[in-house]
Structure 1
Amino acid sequence: MLAQLFTDAAQSCKGSSPLTESLLLNAAADLSAGGVTTRVMAGYERDRKGTMPALRFAGALHRLVLEGRAPGLAKHYPSVGGSPHLATLWDAVLPVLREHTDELRARIGATVVQTNEPGRSAPLFGGLQVAAHAAAVAAGRDEPFPVRLLEIGASAGLNLHPDRIAYRLGDGAVVGDPDSPFVLDPEWTGRPSVDLTRPLRIVEREGCDLHPIDVSTEDGRLTLSSFVWADQLHRWDRLQAALELAAADPAPVRQATGPDWLADRLAGQVPDVLTVVWHSVVWQYVSPADRAEGRAILADAVARATPEAPLALLVYEPRRTHTGYEFHLLLKLWPAGVSLRLGSGRGHGVPFNWEEQEWV
């Protein structure tokens, strides 16, 4: 039932986005009552939970606010300078739904949820440092390997620039690129087990996505911005900084399935470079068939890896625990045989707790 999916999505916002929680709870009640939300969501009644219809609804409304076409609603949206008043929020939403019913329905049908959260660059940066160092030790090299970074489910490619971000650590130290316009407080507990002051050299960066977003366009920037919950200004500011960084030097993101693209990119060895396959919070959206094919392609590449042309898998994905779900940063490195859980954090990558242990 669509109303239940909206209610479930609202619960996921509880404690972190009161604006989105209130919006979705009211929309769920309106759906149950057969109100205007029913017309806006017409055709999507049987959408799967994984397609996140409620967040597509919220994103479509936010997009109208960002475009300046819902001034009454904008008064509640901090992303454009407003201040939420939850008791009257739905009263401001209703006229927007009535006026833009057809447009909202079309946008909800044409988009997929893509937050491309740049906070995940922080655990990625530390994980790449660990991988480059461990591969060098295994190969008997004095210096860490340069990195070839390949991302599956890259969206707009915002997390393909971890070396170009300034990471401000708790003791005041800054690692990464201290001259970057994007300064990120990663909120780390602990540190990676390597020297972070050594430059991370990424010599090639590329991604794939079924629905890539072009950050050089206004439409692309608005699409990503619309999926940030409007009262989470820390995430909003982080995204805008990442968009500025990516627009100056966009990383290529190909429109392709993960297995097809990965088979092409891993077909040959690249000597004197550590090839890293990376993905974050994407596994849940991949079909079982594509998962199996992707594993087989990776296994073939693993068999060809050498100390001089090593291969790594680095992922940041949710894993079920006795208390629910945690997001774990996991590393496998071949042929060195390294298998580590580097730590855990929240879905957006910030904060993060470094705690290196064997990954079995």
Structure 2
Amino acid sequence: MLAELFAAAAHGCRDRSPLTQRLLDDAAADLTRGGVTAAIMAGSERDRHGTVPGLRFAGAVHRLVLEGRAPDLAQHYPTVGGQPHLPTLWQDALPALHTHADLLRRRVQATVVQTNEPGRSAPLYGGLLVAAQEAARAAERTVPFCVRLLEVGASGGLNLRPHHVGYRLEDRVLGDPGSPLVLDPEWTGRPPADLAHRLRVVGRAGCDLHPVDVSTEDGRLHLSSFVWADQVRRWNRLRDALDLAATDPVKVEQSPGPEWLAKQLARAERDVLTVVWHSVVWQYVSPADRAMGRAVLADAAMKATRTSPLALLVFEPRRVDDPDVGYRFELLLKLWPAGISLNLGHGAGHGTPFTWDVTPWE
């Protein structure tokens, strides 16, 4: 039932985005009553949980605000200078929902959730340092490998430039201190790597079924709409990441993941560690594509050598035993032919904060 999926999405926002939680809770109740939300979501009644229809609805509404189409609602949205007042949020949303119901319905049906959260570059950066150094140790090299980064589900490609981001620790800034994007990684502990070694990225590429062109206003609005509007730090972080992307463009290819990955992995590079990376996309991938992707990776892993190693580095939610939590986001690393398989730690879904806690990946 669609109202239940909206309520589940609202629950996922608890303690993190009161604005989005209240909007989706009220929208779920409106769906049950057959109100304007039902008209907006017409055609999406059979959506599966992984497509997150509630967040697509919230993103479409946020975009109305960003475009200046919902002045009454804008007073609640900090991304345009507003201040949330939850008791009147739904009342002030209704005029925009009725006026733009057709536009909202088209956008909900045409879009997929694409947060492309740049904060995930923080655990990615640490994971890449570990991967490059562990692969070098297994190959009996004294210098860490250079990295070729391949991202599946790259969206707008904002996490394809981890070496051009600054990461502020207590006593120094790792990466690029002069970057437009300087993150506070909020690390507890440190990655099991020598942080004095600089990450060297010699190639990067990405694919997505629905790539976002962040060089366009439409692309920037699309990604911006999926930031929860009362999370101002995330909003500012995205602004900085878009500024960085403008100075360092990387094209994201439109392609299914397994097909694209097979093409990329057909070419091995000597003295380079190839890292396959994805973050918070697995839930959106069909079972058939998951199986195909695993097969492609397994084939490449069998061909990996000490001088042309392969790594899988992922940041995805995994179920945990605690019913109050349900799942947590973990950074997982596999290395071939070294045979290394590590759970590097866990953090918030947006990448920060993150706790380094190395255990076997089982």
TM-score normalised over the length of structure 2:
0.97
Q: Once structures 1 and 2 are overlaid, which stretch shifts more, 319-328 or 198-207?
A: 319-328
Instruction: Tell me the alpha carbon deviations over residues 172-204 of structure 1, each in whole angstroms, 9 at most, x when there is no partner.
Output: 321111111111001000001112122111110
Instruction: Tell me the alpha carbon deviations over residues 15-69 of structure 1, each in whole angstroms, 9 at most, x when there is no partner.
Output: 1111111111111111111211121111112211211111111111110110112
Identity %: 68
Q: Which residue of 1 aligns with 2:25?
A: 25
CA distance in 2, matches of 1:14, 1:138: 44
Give the 3-state SS of the residue equivalent to 1:208 in structure 2: strand
Amino acid at match of 2:189: G
Q: Which residue of 2 aligns with 1:41?
A: 41
Q: Which residue of 1 aligns with 2:8?
A: 8
- What RMSD over aligned residues (CA atoms) do the two structures have, in Å? 1.0
Please say if 1:307 is aligned against 2:306.
yes
Q: Which residue of 1 aligns with 2:281?
A: 282
CA distance in 2, matches of 1:93, 1:320: 35
Amino acid at match of 1:344: H
Instruction: List runs of 5+ in structure 2 lacking aligned partners.
Output: none
Tell me if the contact between 1:208 and 1:253 (Cα under 8 Å) persists in the aligned partners: yes
TM-score normalised over the length of structure 1:
0.98
Give the 3-state SS of the residue equivalent to 2:27 in structure 1: helix
Please say if 1:139 is aligned against 2:154.
no
CA distance in 2, matches of 1:326, 1:39: 34
Q: Which residue of 2 aligns with 1:122?
A: 122
Q: Which residue of 1 aligns with 2:200?
A: 201
Tell me the CA shift for residue 358 of structure 1: 2.1
Give runs of aligned pairs for residues 67-82 of structure 1, distance below 5 A.
67-82=67-82
Tell me if the contact between 1:208 and 1:261 (Cα under 8 Å) persists in the aligned partners: yes
CA distance in 1, matches of 2:81, 2:291: 46
CA distance in 2, matches of 1:199, 1:336: 22
Amino acid at match of 2:305: T
Q: Which residue of 1 aligns with 2:332?
A: 330
Instruction: List runs of 5+ in structure 1 lacking aligned partners.
Output: none
Tell me the CA shift for residue 268 of structure 1: 2.2
CA distance in 2, matches of 1:195, 1:2: 49
Q: Once structures 1 and 2 are overlaid, which stretch shifts more, 319-328 or 75-84?
A: 319-328
Tell me the CA shift for residue 84 of structure 1: 0.5
Q: Once structures 1 and 2 are overlaid, which stretch shifts more, 206-215 or 135-144?
A: 135-144
Q: Which residue of 1 aligns with 2:191?
A: 192
Amino acid at match of 1:38: A
Q: Which residue of 2 aligns with 1:112?
A: 112
Amino acid at match of 1:62: H
CA distance in 2, matches of 1:40, 1:294: 35
CA distance in 2, matches of 1:316, 1:158: 15
Moved over 4 A (4+): none
Give the 3-state SS of the residue equivalent to 1:47 in structure 2: coil
Tell me the CA shift for residue 139 of structure 1: 1.7
CA distance in 1, matches of 2:67, 2:168: 33
